[in-house]
Amino acid sequence: MNDSSDGSIRGSIRSWPIYIMIVLTTINFLNYIDQRLLSAVLESIKAEWTLSDAQGGLLGSVFVIVYTLAAPVGYFGDRMRRKNLIAGGVLLWSLATVGAAFARNYEELLLARALLGVGEACYATIAPSIIADLYSPNQRSRKLAYFYLATPVGSALGYIIGGYIGQYFGWRAVFLCGGLPGLLFALLAFMMIEPRRGRHDPAPAPGPGMSLPATIKRLLKTPAWRTNTIGLAMMTFTVGGLALWMPSYLERVHGMEQGPANLLFGGMTVVAGIVGTLAGGALGDRLQARSAGGYFRLSGFGLLLSSPFIAVMPLIGWLPGVFMIVFIAELLLFLNTGPLNAALVGCVPVQMRGSAFAVNILCIHAFGDALSNLLLGVISDAATPVLGSAAAGLSLALAVTAIPVAVGGVVLLRGARWIARQPEGLMTYPG
């Protein structure tokens, strides 16, 4: 596996946990910035090439579909130098984002978004396993919460940067500015010195097999992994759909300009995300210390309580009320970030963590935002002639996203009760 030992790297800054955390977390910021740039300028792209909502949704879905198909690269992260996969992924997605700026037609932009998915899969499936090796188990929920602050903050920056640059300089300038910083951080990632695998964990027991099919079979037979994956898939369906279509909703339904719409939605997302993610990380560690189902209990309540707020949001005509409702919904959704990722780390042996994230990512995106980005566009197009306006069609599509998070909340709460009764807790494995 060629991981460096602690003794040989103690004096190198590139091996310090704080250095590695800063590099990986900053890359995660860039990851979400680049993902959300499309959302910020989607209406401009649709207008330039006269695209339908379904075609606009496909621009979001093609990234997720390819990202999902490439997610098994995390399996190789358990068997080779992780930093090399990360650096290569960052380089690829940064070049793809820059390439999107030069797309001459819809098909070339689809290709650029597909390559973005390949690059980001090489990062997202592997980076959490490195963070797990940096810190002890009782710190992981909080540290992973810091790492995943990039989800709301990076998304917000993507909306804000993309909205204003797009409004004044056009959508092509948005992708050009978004892709260039990643070229530097690809180099910094390559220069990292990895921590030893399982540094803070007991010596791993022999795994169930080294083949990918055997690994997947083991994961599917692990109750905590299944519960986690179903809950995250339902959450990802909703979060992905809202992330892509909310700026369009604000422009189309409430008549906002591109820049202010993205600024306000991005600002709301970053505040709700920071508060929700940090609170969820701290509360998750506290509840998990009391009960083996603590992570799932907190996440289940968060998803279930967010559902009614999402459902009523499209019915509110008062714009400040819309932002208040969306803020509360996002706050409840972001409670889940740290706990669910900590549960994912904690439910499998050390030597399977990269694979666990890889297959989890494949499943949650295949049944989550790979579906919702396109499906919401299809629903909007179908409902528009029936309801009489494109604004009403998109409003109905967004209301649909309340259903999956309610289902996910119920699954997580049921899983929490079952896992809390098991002697092995999250690590329960019948077989």
* Residue-by-residue DSSP string for 8-41: HHTT-GGG-HHHHHHHHHHHHHHHHHHHHHHHHH
pLDDT, tens digit, 9 for 90 and up, residues 371-414:
999 999 999 999 999 999 999 999 999 999 999 999 999 999 99
Packing angle of the helix pair 82-100, 127-134 (nearest 10 deg): 140
What confidence tier does 74 reach under pLDDT thresholds 50, 70, 90?
low
Is 204 contained in some domain?
no
Please state, in angstroms and rounded to a whole number, the distance separating the CA atoms of residues 293 and 371: 29
- Least confident window among 122-136, 228-242, 379-393: 122-136
Residue 99: pLDDT over 70: yes
Residue 4: pLDDT over 70: no
Provide the domain limits for residue 315: 6-196+211-427
- More confidently predicted of 300 and 13: 300
**Which residue is listed with tokens 């459902």?**
311
CB atoms within 10 A of CB 229: 24
- More confidently predicted of 299 and 134: 299
When pLDDT is averaged across residues 365-374 and rounded to a whole number, the result is 91
- Least confident window among 138-152, 177-191, 396-410: 138-152
Q: Give every CB contact of residue 312 below 8 A, 6+ residues apart in sequence.
A: 325
SS3 for 59?
helix
- More confidently predicted of 264 and 145: 264
pLDDT of residue 40: 94
Is 205 contained in some domain?
no
pLDDT of residue 214: 81
Question: Phi and psi dihedrals of 193, rounded to 5?
Answer: -110, 120
Q: What percent of the chain has pLDDT over 70?
A: 91
Packing angle of the helix pair 127-134, 17-49 (nearest 10 deg): 160
Residue 82: pLDDT over 90: no
Q: Which amino acid is at 178?
A: G
When pLDDT is averaged across residues 153-161 and rounded to a whole number, the result is 90
Is 307 contained in some domain?
yes
Residue 210: pLDDT over 80: no
CB 331 within 8 A of CB 270: no
**Which residue is listed with tokens 């793809």?**
96
List helix spans (H) across 170-313: 171-179, 181-191, 212-220, 223-254, 258-290, 294-312
Residue 303: pLDDT over 90: yes
CATH of the domain at 186: 1.20.1250.20
Is 266 contained in some domain?
yes
Closest CA to 40 of 242, 275, 258, 253: 258
Average model confidence (pLDDT) across the chain: 87
CB 150 within 8 A of CB 123: no
Residue 10: pLDDT over 50: no
Whole-model pTM? 0.80
Is 185 contained in some domain?
yes
Please state, in angstroms and rounded to a whole number, the distance separating the CA atoms of residues 321 and 250: 13
What confidence tier does 223 reach under pLDDT thresholds 50, 70, 90?
very high
Q: Give every CB contact of residue 422 below 8 A, 6+ residues apart in sequence.
A: 223, 292, 428
Residue 388 is given by DSSP the state: T
What confidence tier does 417 reach under pLDDT thresholds 50, 70, 90?
very high
Q: Which amino acid is at 353?
A: R
pLDDT, tens digit, 9 for 90 and up, residues 189-201:
998 888 776 565 5
Residue 335: pLDDT over 60: yes
Domain count, the chain: 1
When pLDDT is averaged across residues 320-340 and rounded to a whole number, the result is 93
Closest CA to 302 of 317, 287, 292: 287
- Name the range with the highest mean pLDDT among 124-128, 249-253, 271-275, 366-370: 249-253
pLDDT, tens digit, 9 for 90 and up, residues 283-295:
988 999 999 999 9
Is 151 contained in some domain?
yes
**Which residue is listed with tokens 């997605």?**
93
pLDDT of residue 302: 97
pLDDT of residue 75: 65
What confidence tier does 9 reach under pLDDT thresholds 50, 70, 90?
very low
Is 176 contained in some domain?
yes
Cα dihedral across residues 96, 63, 344, 349: positive or negative: negative
What confidence tier does 126 reach under pLDDT thresholds 50, 70, 90?
confident
What confidence tier does 11 reach under pLDDT thresholds 50, 70, 90?
very low
Residue 426 is given by DSSP the state: G
When pLDDT is averaged across residues 149-175 and rounded to a whole number, the result is 91
Is 206 contained in some domain?
no
